[in-house]
Amino acid sequence: MSDVYSKEDFKEAALRMLVGSDTELAERVAMGDVFVIEHIGAMAQMLAMLSSQIGLGETEFWTKARDSMVLADAAARQIFPYGTASKYRFAIHNPQDVATTIHAGRRLLDNRNRTWVVTDGVVVPAKSHAYVEAEQLDENHFVHTVTEHESFYQIGIPQPADNQFLLNVQVNDGDGDLFEHVARFNNVLQGQKVWHLHGNEVMDLFVTFGLKDKFGYVPQVGEQIKVTLRYTHGDVVLKQDSELSLEYVQPGEEYLSIYADIQIQAGSDAPNITELREITRYPSIYDENAVYLGEFQALIERKHSPFVFLSVWNEIREEQARGANVNNINKLFVSFIKSGINTTAMQTQIKNTVFMADDSYQLVFVPAVEQAIHIQVALQLKSMYDEGDVSQQIKLWLLNQYGRDSLWAKRGGQRINNRNTVRELTKAIAQFADGGSDLSMVIEQPQNHLPEVFQYVSAASISITNTPI
């Protein structure tokens, strides 16, 4: 990279040149004429900005430094500003003497006027309650009239409103027939009704059609194309039991009460510039084609999080655990625990996600087995310390590190290192800092850990004894 010069570098060089010359301008500089010096400073500032851009341009091939280059690089890699909709289960209470039906597609409003669309209908019994699932999204559409019959015809997509992110795009022709979205026009035949999403260096997005007489569909002049856009507020978290309302009330629904129950899927905002700069470095993060085993787990996590537990493994790992079997060929095994959703429905969603990435696998769902890890802690505390207080601190630390909700437990297939745990635990608790008190630990862990085993430390699996010193 060439040297990048500052404003002061250019200004001092210009002034040195003038002072050494025998001109009227040099005399004015020597006298401190602000008019001349400030003009030179302004030009020096412009040259410094140009120098910076030239320097960055020389390294841009390896490191995307400017925001415009980051956006352009992301667009070229098909990384677009998509958000992920938050999904919740809602409890509906019906105090009336007759049952009430809430159909799929009904819209709920939270206390910030955000829209939640019911994804599955339910009949709420009289004087009882029922649950529905809904995702946070808004939908609008527009109809575009084609003005030219040309290859790669484009239709611009409006920017979302503040604090909203694009969730998905749907394209239909004038008769309502659906155009299929195909990334990068992969394996597209001539005349096939598909579209591709294209972006530029400022993340303006366009629906793009095919190439004349080669591949894809090229719309005719005057043809009407309907574009449906869905937006989401991304990372939306509702407080437990926060109240919602129906967007419009039909007869018999005025006495219903709707409350947030549990989150089924976490929402996420579209990546910002800082995140895009890092994401573009790692194809496994942004590429939807899960080629390797580890990417299948990441793909499912990305599409359907949060999970209490998720484990994905292939035939090699399966046969390491249970022995060789010809029926394991070309199988992908999945075991999971997820709150607030029917297991069969979740299995269907996972199958669809994996099939879209690679349709050569057969999925086998293995029931997860929860298993507590037993830890025996033997303390030797000085008599000045409260045994109950220290024991409580130890339990909280162990549960935070290895409990059911810990990142360690969610990863699965790991072992607790005894020596490291004792070292970190004694560092974290002040009563062991004096060098007099001590502890030892025995951890009972399975020797042959099956991939579907969800193991963690529970409050009941921790036993603590103390020998005062």
pLDDT at 300 (0 to 100): 86
Q: From CA 395, how far away is CA 210, in angstroms rounded? A: 62
Residues linked to residue 118 through DSSP beta bridges, in sequence order? 134
Question: Where would I find the H helices in 169-288?
Answer: 273-279, 283-286
pLDDT digits (tens, 9 = 90+) for 42-76: 998 998 888 777 766 665 555 555 666 777 777 77
pLDDT at 63 (0 to 100): 55
> Is-contact 225 172, C-beta < 8 A?
yes
Residues of the chain with pLDDT under 70: 1-3, 20, 22, 55-68, 282-294, 448
Q: From CA 414, how far away is CA 12, in angstroms rounded? A: 62
pLDDT at 60 (0 to 100): 53
pLDDT at 106 (0 to 100): 94
Contacts of 320 (CB under 8 A, 6+ apart): none
Residue 180 buriedness (CB in 10 A; 0-12 / 13-18 / 19+): exposed
Assigned token pair, 96: 């009336």
pLDDT at 200 (0 to 100): 80
pLDDT digits (tens, 9 = 90+) for 286-301: 666 555 555 788 788 8
**DSSP-derived secondary structure letter, 436:** S
pLDDT at 147 (0 to 100): 95
Assigned token pair, 421: 């745990």
Determine the 3-state secondary structure of 413 from DSSP. coil
Assigned token pair, 380: 């030797």
Is residue 413 left, alpha or beta, with left meaning phi > 0 and alpha meaning psi from -120 to 50? left
The CATH code that applies to domain 288-367 is 3.30.300
Domain ranges of the chain: 7-63, 64-79+271-282, 84-270, 288-367, 370-466
**DSSP-derived secondary structure letter, 355:** H
3-state secondary structure 204-224: CEEEECCECCCEECCCCCCCE
Give exposure, 107-132, as e/b (b: 16+ Cβ within 10 Å): ebebeeebbbbbeeebebeeeebbeb
